[in-house]
Each structure stands twice: as structure tokens, then as C-alpha cells.
Amino acid sequence: MIICAGESLIDMVSFVGETEYTPHVGGSILNTSITLGRLGAESFYCGAISNDSYGELIEERLKHSKVKKDFIVKTNRPTTLAYADVVDGIAQYTFVDEHSAGRMLDKQSLEPFIESLKKTKALLVGGISLQAEPCGASWQWLIEQVSGNCLIYFDANIRPDFIENKAKYIERFNQLTSKVDIIKISEEDYQYLYGMQDFKEVSNEWLKNGVKLVILTLGSKGSKAIFDNGKEVFVKANKVGVVDTIAAGDSFNGGFLFSLDTQGLLGREKLDTMNESILQQTLTFANQVASFTVTKKGANPPWIYEILES
């Protein structure tokens, strides 16, 4: 059982030359749950979903993608909308999120899930859920309750528009480095948070704080993993025709967790057994899943048969 806990939303996507926005189910955490479901993992989504028509679309996508909904909080608050203008394959976002279903999620709504989350193989957290308030405090509380019981995978996935107080968010991020087991961060995320600070030095500090594995994604160049006191493994990305990069990192997360799971290595205690060969295989598969996703419009990760046929 892999639980993805955080935001769901609707991406309103428009490409250069288009005069209308097309709705696509999205949200970083939700996208990863869908990726896992389509690959064949036992995937669960945990988060708030609106009772509005967009919420219905989200639930339909979860069902279609074989994602289980045991940890959903239903609410009459509206669905978050992300207007994505795609230029040269890169989405530029404008969010409509005030008083939304996800943003207003509180601790009381999450508390009934804590014991189940402690027993899961892996818990994925991150994204805008930890950047916006008041929900950010609620999700941080959940992570603190679960920490030490299951593998926690934290994807930074920074969206600066959601971070009202950068210093406060960096403080939260640093606190989480002693609570999570895997940190995944992109080049852009890292530069936003740490500027020109040496990545090797910062990632080594995370490892000293208790993180077992750091993943740095490098866009079209590939990805690398840092583990065991600074050892590194790098894997090049597949060369594909990019339509847009929406959900590339999210589907990478799903591919990475799925690959560990199929190797029987998804668990906190098993992270200590990581070696270069395992991480080479895992990063290669994650890159493959992400590469497939960027060839389609919106957040549309592959099914396992599409990966096997490619």
C-alpha cells in the first residue's frame, strides 16, 4: 500500500495560439497516485476533494486509474484551479485557490487516518500542500505523527506563488529533513530555496539529519541520487518529443516508488541496503515513466503496458 497525501486540483491548460483553456485533472500528489495506480501498485489518495463538478472529474480519474479513495475528505469548498499557459513545453501557472477544498484542510479531518498511514509501505507528501496555509501546518503535523513508522518520500515541487513567507517555508523544509526518509528536489526548486549554495554540502546536511536518500532531477539531462554519506548515481533522461512538462516530476515519483516496490525494497529499513546497481535501475525506470508523460498534453501518466511496449 502506497499512500499519496496532499493536493488535487484542475489544470486549465492552454497552448500558444489557443484561445480556450482545457480542464485536466491534476495536482502533484494526485498525479503521483494516478501514476502508481496505472503502473499496477496498490495506490491510495489522501486529501480533500470538493463536491463540485470538478471534484467529480477528479474522483472519476482516480477510479479510472485504479486508485483507492479510503482516505478522502469530502467538502463543499471549491476545487483549486491552476491556469497553465504552455510555452515551448513549459507551463507557467496562475492559481485560483482562496478558501479551496485543499487549502482549508485541517488537522481534525486528517486525524482519523494517522494509524492507517503509520502502517503503509510508503507515504508521499509535498507540493503546494506544504507551501500554502492553513493546510501546510496540517500536513506538517501529519508528517510529524507518522514519521519513523513508514517510509516518507518528500517532493519539494516548489510553486513560489503559494509561498507567502519564504523564510518560514525554508524553516519548515529544514524541519522536515529530520522527519522524512527520501527528499526529491528539482534543480529549479533547489535554486529557489538555496540559491548558489553548494548542493553537495546541503544534501550532505540532509543526510546527517536522517534522510536516507536525496534525489535531484535535472530536467532533460536526467536525474541523480545521493546516498550513504555522499555517494552519487546519475542516469541520463530519455530523448523524446516534449509536448509539455506538466506532471513530469510527479510521474517520476510514481515510477521511482513503483520500481522500489517491485524490487521488494520499499520500506524504511530497506533504504540502508541501497547500492549503485539498485539506484541505477530505479532511476532509469522513473526517467522512462516521466519521459512518456511529457509526450502528452496535461497530466497523463502511462499505464504499465505502455511502458512495457515502449
Cis bond upstream, residue 301 (ω within 30): no
* Residue-level pLDDT at 79: 96
pTM across the whole model: 0.95
Using CA atoms, how far apart are residues 91 and 217, in angstroms rounded to an integer?
17
Start-to-end CA span in the chain (Å): 27
Helix (DSSP H) and strand (DSSP E) numbers for the chain = 11, 13
Using CA atoms, how far apart are residues 9 and 223, in angstroms rounded to an integer?
27
Q: Does 199 map to a domain?
A: yes
The structural domain count of the chain equals 1
Which structural domain, as residue segments, surrounds residue 161? 2-305
Tens-digit pLDDT profile for residues 235-274: 998 888 887 778 899 999 999 999 999 999 999 989 988 9
* Residue-level pLDDT at 216: 96
CB 126 within 8 A of CB 29: yes
Using CA atoms, how far apart are residues 159 and 274, in angstroms rounded to an integer?
31
**Selection from 231, 213, 194 nearest residue 286 by Cα:** 213
Q: Does 310 map to a domain?
A: no
Q: How many CB atoms lie within 10 A of CB 194?
A: 16
Using CA atoms, how far apart are residues 270 and 285, in angstroms rounded to an integer?
19
* Residue-level pLDDT at 159: 92
* Residue-level pLDDT at 178: 95
* Residue-level pLDDT at 94: 85
Residue 271: give its domain's CATH number.
3.40.1190.20
Q: Does 261 map to a domain?
A: yes
